[in-house]
């Protein structure tokens, strides 16, 4: 097994532990993948439910670009269809993180987009929704692909991300580290919006996210910074 593939298998295990520990996914679902040359590496089925995201490198599946398993001690994630389709359509995408992130799920359940309320989130733009498709179906995979084609600029900057209604977040980036980073940034924004909603009695700023985001955009523009 090539060294770069072994190193990536170890990295995916580490990111999986972080994703679970930081409540960026739950025991029920979530998956991580990366492209290394002509190979796709992806987490196994039931990574949370059976293994509590304490994965070993040999459990990470190594597959061909068209989804044929070459190595790995377990079955590949049930959501792998979406991953392979994204790699097929986005040659620049080399890492994908899908998580049932605790704070993002509140927005998924309510059908509310997440605005980029912090400077660090601006490259990601507003995080909206793809069309509904049941989990692990072709319909969901195609819906995610379609939605992320509208986020090509965000992919060039950091990551292209979309929420699946009532389900979770999908992040596609040029590296798997950036895909993880994007999920954490979006969950931070979701957490801040949720937590500060109780501050609205103290300050009108706390609930005026649209105005606050527009103000941040204006401030950045003064420095010639692109905003979305």
Cβ-closest residue to Zn ion? 29
Least gap, CB of 223 to Zn ion (angstroms):
38
Region label for 33, one of left (φ > 0), alpha (ψ between -120 and 50) or beta (otherwise): beta
Contact 189, 114 (CB under 8 A): yes
Q: 3-state class of 171 per DSSP?
A: strand
- By beta-carbon proximity to Zn ion, the closer residue of 29 and 44 is 29
- By beta-carbon proximity to Zn ion, the closer residue of 128 and 165 is 165
Q: In the set 5, 11, 24, 29, which binds Zn ion (CB under 5 A)?
A: 29
Least gap, CB of 108 to Zn ion (angstroms):
10
User: What contacts 227, CB < 8 A, 6 or more positions away?
Assistant: 122, 216, 217, 220, 221
- By beta-carbon proximity to Zn ion, the closer residue of 109 and 221 is 109
H or E, element range at 163: strand 159-164
Least gap, CB of 78 to Zn ion (angstroms):
9
- By beta-carbon proximity to Zn ion, the closer residue of 151 and 167 is 167
Considering only residues 158 through 177, tell me which ones interact with Zn ion, judged by CB under 5 A.
168
Six-digit token string for 226: 């692109």
Over the Cα atoms of the chain, what is R_g?
Answer: 18
> Judged by CB under 5 A, which stretch of 27-35, 61-69, 109-117, 178-186 contacts Zn ion?
27-35
Q: Which residues bind Zn ion (CB under 5 A)?
A: 29, 168
């Amino acid at each position: 097994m090539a060294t770069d593939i072994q190193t990536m298998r170890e990295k995916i295990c580490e990111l999986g532990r972080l994703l679970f520990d930081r409540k960026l996914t739950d025991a029920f679902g979530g998956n991580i993948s990366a492209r290394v040359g002509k190979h796709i590496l992806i987490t196994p089925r039931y990574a949370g439910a059976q293994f509590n995201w304490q994965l070993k490198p040999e459990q990470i599946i190594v597959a061909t670009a068209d989804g044929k398993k070459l190595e790995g001690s377990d079955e590949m994630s049930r959501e792998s269809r979406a991953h392979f389709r994204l790699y097929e359509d986005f040659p620049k995408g080399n890492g994908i993180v899908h998580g049932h992130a605790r704070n993002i799920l509140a927005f998924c359940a309510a059908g509310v987009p997440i605005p980029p309320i912090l400077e660090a989130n601006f490259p990601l733009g507003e995080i909206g929704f793809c069309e509904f498709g049941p989990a692990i179906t072709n319909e969901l995979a195609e819906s995610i692909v379609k939605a992320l084609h509208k986020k090509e600029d965000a992919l060039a900057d950091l990551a292209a991300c979309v929420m699946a209604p009532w389900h979770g977040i999908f992040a596609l980036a040029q590296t798997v580290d950036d895909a993880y980073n994007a999920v954490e940034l979006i969950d931070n924004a979701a957490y801040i919006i949720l937590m500060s909603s109780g501050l609205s009695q103290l300050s009108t700023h706390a609930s005026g996210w649209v105005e606050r985001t527009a103000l941040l955009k204006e401030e950045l523009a003064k420095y010639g910074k692109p905003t979305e």
